Amino acid sequence: MIKRPLIIDCDPGIDDAECLMMVQGSGQFDIRGITAVHGNVPLELTSKNALFLSKLYGMDCPVYKGAKEALIQRLTRAEYVHGSNGLIGFEYELPEDAEFAEGHAWDFIWEEAVKQNGELEILAIGPLTNLAIAVMKYPELPKLIKNLVIMGGSAGSGNFGVYSEYNIAQDPHACEIVLQAGFPNFTMVDWNACHMVHLTEEEWKPLLNLPETNKFAALAKRMLEFEVVNKAKLREEGTNIFPTGDDHYTCDPTAAAVLIDPEIAQYVEKYAFCDCVGEMTRGQTVIDWLGFAPLKNIKLPVAMDREKFVEMYFKCVKSYDREDC
């Protein structure tokens, strides 16, 4: 099988860790590199987490540091969801050979796009600052990207504001640059799409008992145990952002699933822009539902196959269930 060349732009983050697990575990991709960006926690931590995860999952690829802050504004991070280190306090030591690649994330994205001659795909699951800088520095970049999938935005209500989703709210100006850049195949896996798939309590509980030889086992156990406690705390505070119940909702793996198998979703093609100035709507991805705009710049999932997602998730988990993975 010819593997699809891919760059993952991320801000790990626990759901980023799940997402990388799925992408690598799918066996479909030639992961050319990981580019870290500020987001769930500061860049110092997201980049270190990205380097750790690349080693944990056996990704033979460079890891580049990217933007430390948003293009213009600076907002609070999401330690209340991802813990102080971004991986909910999961302790790890980097291997002695773990080093960051030299250079900037945005330059690597451009250089790899040129090298892959129109075949490169990008999965962006954090704030879009790295990608926006790449577009501003290399305006021809969108023409060289075969497929761009992001986890971000919302076609309805938000999780970091009335209408804004966290990744986009962290750098709305970057989002607007990317939306208007002219990527020919751009899928926006938004907050609503991430509510369409989940693992039921019956489905996720076996993750607590994965064999020790599974490279995802310890992280999965820590993640789910933390989630149970954190959900109870958030509900007590009245700030829970996911539906009630004990199901496991996870955003970035939803984008991974769409990347791995686009047929997992049904889509509409629409025009979208990002509000960068509104007092209550800054960071909102505004969708032109009625078709007033003369063009369409995104594909938006409007339905997801939950059963297929669950099957895909556990197939990827099982791919790590061997000593030599």
Pick the range with the lowest mean pLDDT from 108-112, 184-188, 248-252, 271-275.
248-252
What does pTM read for this prediction?
A: 0.95
Pick the range with the lowest mean pLDDT from 26-40, 117-131, 234-248.
234-248
- The overall average pLDDT reported for the chain is 93
- What are the angstrom distances between the C-alpha of 172 and each of 130, 160, 251? 13, 12, 19
| Domain residue ranges in the chain | 4-318
46 with 72: CB under 8 angstroms? no
Pairing of strands 285-287, 272-274: antiparallel
The domain covering 4-318 belongs, at the CATH homologous superfamily level, to Ribonucleoside hydrolase-like (3.90.245.10)
Mark 151-190 as b/e (b = at least 16 C-beta within 10 Å): bbbbbeebbbbebbbbbbbbbbbbbbbbbebbbeebbbbb
Task: Please check the confidence at residue 86 and state whether its pLDDT lies above 70.
Answer: yes
Q: pLDDT for 151-207, tens place per residue?
A: 999 998 888 888 999 999 999 999 999 999 999 999 999 999 999 999 999 999 999
Q: Cα separation of 207 and 211, whole Å?
A: 9
> What is the per-residue pLDDT for 324?
47
59 with 24: CB under 8 angstroms? yes
> What is the per-residue pLDDT for 323?
52
CA dihedral over 12, 13, 14, 16, signed as positive or negative: negative
* Reduced 3-state DSSP string for 218-274: HHHHHHHHHHHHHHHHHHHHCCCCCCCCCCECCCHHHHHHHHHCHHHEEEEEECEEE
